[in-house]
Amino acid sequence: MKRNKDWNQAKYERFLKDGRGSGNFAEYKPWLTIQDMPSMGRVTRVYGYTTGRIHHFFSDIQTRYFYLLEYSPYVIDIKEHYPLLDAQELLRNQDVDIEKHVGDDGTPYVFTSTFLIRTKTRDGFREYARAVKSHEKLETKNVIERFEIERRYWEAKGIDWGIVTNKEIPKVMVKNIEWLHPAMELKKYEVFEANELEMLCDTLLRQINTVSKKMRFLLNDFDEFHQLECGTGINLFKYMVWKHQIHVDIESKIDLGKLMSSELKLNDSWTKGGTGANESHG
């Protein structure tokens, strides 16, 4: 790997002073941001509802994998571009030539893992580290060398590490999640009174549970009957699918023109008598 001419001690100290790589949830600051990678192609900033902050991604594959994590009810924290700050010290005596990865002034290069993920378990939580890379680039020398360093690092830390490529990411599922994601924006519901969102969700769930109709027509009728702005019913539907109050086949294209209300499965907490509309699922 060639020396990084843009990496030096002053930049390293500035990153640490800025708090990069530290914090949890909304307070976490990624080691690298899109401002640090101006020459990269498909950079993206996405607001995460799991973390309550903006995330930075350098490829479509990273963004798509993020959406899968964001939708999971088990994921409670997502840290992108997580720095392996103690890698040089931790791996110094292993048979990987990590000490050659330095800037022009000899400052050790800071390796990062694409994602450090925290999930909730019955006993607390568990962490996973994932490297996300295009399948076509896995055989390049630099990538192989870098991933071996990552693998050794996380093995020493006792944290599960793995590689995710475009082959492991279900495109249809990701497109569905991208479609659902904007409905979580609270600004869409500013017109509602304090309890109106929960009430409307409950009313829509009852209608879905009792009427067999194509969802596009059902949601349009819902808007008209309740004198709501056109599209409100669709946003409520998307909101409840995201909150796992309505279960759909997320791996198949969600087509409201074909999807029947009778095909949907509602959350047990609602069918047993509770609204469940304001429950948190991560």
Place of tokens 């304001």: 278
Q: What is the pLDDT of residues 151-204, one digit of tens each?
A: 999 999 999 999 999 999 999 999 999 999 998 885 555 656 657 888 999 999
- pLDDT averaged over the chain? 90
Amino acid at 103: G
Q: What is the pLDDT of residues 208-264, one digit of tens each?
A: 999 999 999 999 999 999 999 999 999 999 999 999 999 999 999 999 999 999 999
Considering the four listed CATH numbers 3.90.1640.10, 3.30.379.10, 3.40.1350.10, 3.40.1440.10, the one that applies to the domain covering 9-169 is 3.40.1350.10
User: For residue 277, what pLDDT band results from cuts at 50, 70 and 90?
Assistant: very low
Query: How far apart, in whole angstroms, are the C-alpha atoms of residue 182 and residue 34?
Result: 22
**Structural domain spans, the chain:** 9-169, 174-271
Per CATH, the number for 174-271 is 1.10.10.10
Question: How much is the pLDDT for 1?
Answer: 41
- 102-129 burial code (b ≥16 CB/10 A, e <16): bbeeebbbbbbbbbbbbbeeeeeeeebb
Place of tokens 């994998």: 65
pTM, two decimal places: 0.90
User: For residue 4, what pLDDT band results from cuts at 50, 70 and 90?
Assistant: low
Q: What is the pLDDT of residues 117-146, one digit of tens each?
A: 999 999 999 999 999 999 999 999 999 999
